[in-house]
Amino acid sequence: MPKPKETTPLFEEPEFDEVEYVRSERNRSVIVMFIFLIGALAGLLAGYLQLQGYTYLSVLLFFVIAIFLGKILTSMGFKLPQRTSHKAINYLIFFAVFLLFWIIFLNPPVHTVSAPQVVNVQALYNGHYVTMTSTSNIYEINTSMTSVPYMVHMSYRYNFTVTSLTYATSGAAPSAVKDFHQVGDNVYFNQTIIPTNGQYDFYIHWQSSQVSVNTPVEFTFRPTAA
């Protein structure tokens, strides 16, 4: 009888190398940790650049690092994954971490991008300043005095400079307060009071070298009955 022909299998499953598998997975894990670190530092730097007024550099920073991410990891001695899905995951991690830390840097408690906030308003009585009663940013004062020196204490993360101070009554055009000066976070000025039940809306215009936002700080002063 003729001997049966020996057939070659169409596919031979390679032998599973457990040591190599563990080594490659550990390498991937370390790469992910370094990508997280690179993305976090780059995101914080992007937030800082944006606060300095260089938003375009923040965007450019992302693209530069994303383009050279593979070379950065290779220069640090890492063996990059060969599978396309693993490469895509690495870039998604970098994008997510970069964006996350960029947002964190631009928001409280790390940073406040909005205007300075009025902490309190004080009026000079009998030779010393007294804190005025405040409700929803409306400060009340007794009308027994016709002209009152005020001190507005404002708070902001960075140093700021008051550039102008204006006020307006209901339906009237804004008027400038010419006699004012600033000492640290305190702004001093004099203002003649208006009749009871009227009110002033004050606008403190400011600037800071650390941030380009210059929204006026607004508060309302309302006289009460003497």
Which domains does the chain carry? 18-105 (no CATH), 117-224 (2.60.40.1220)
pLDDT tens-digit series, residues 43-78: 999 988 887 778 889 999 999 999 999 999 999 888
User: Quick check: helix, strand or coil at residue 150?
Assistant: strand
In this prediction the pTM is: 0.59
Q: What is the rounded distance in angstroms from the CA atom of residue 35 to the CA atom of residue 76?
A: 12
- Cα dihedral value 93, 96, 98, 102, nearest 10: -160
| Residue 202 pLDDT grade (very low, low, confident, very high; cuts 50, 70, 90) | very high
Answer yes or no: is pLDDT of 194 > 70: no
Q: Which residue has the higher pLDDT, 87 or 41?
A: 41
**What integer pLDDT is reported at residue 99 of this predicted model?**
96
Closest by Cα among 119, 123, 165, 168 to 142 = 123
pLDDT band at 137 (very low <50, low <70, confident <90, very high): confident
Show Cβ contacts of residue 53 under 8 Å, excluding neighbours closer than 6 positions: 211, 212
The pLDDT value recorded for residue 158 is 80
Q: Is the pLDDT of residue 226 over 70?
A: no
SS3 category, 164 = strand
Name the range with the highest mean pLDDT among 16-25, 115-124, 132-141: 115-124
Token pair of 26 as six digits: 């550990």
The separation between CA 40 and the C-alpha centre of its own chain, rounded to angstroms, equals 15
Q: Which two tokens stand for residue 208?
A: 């800071």
* Per-residue pLDDT reduced to its tens digit, 168-187: 887 778 899 989 999 999 99
Phi and psi at 159, nearest 5°, equal -70, 140
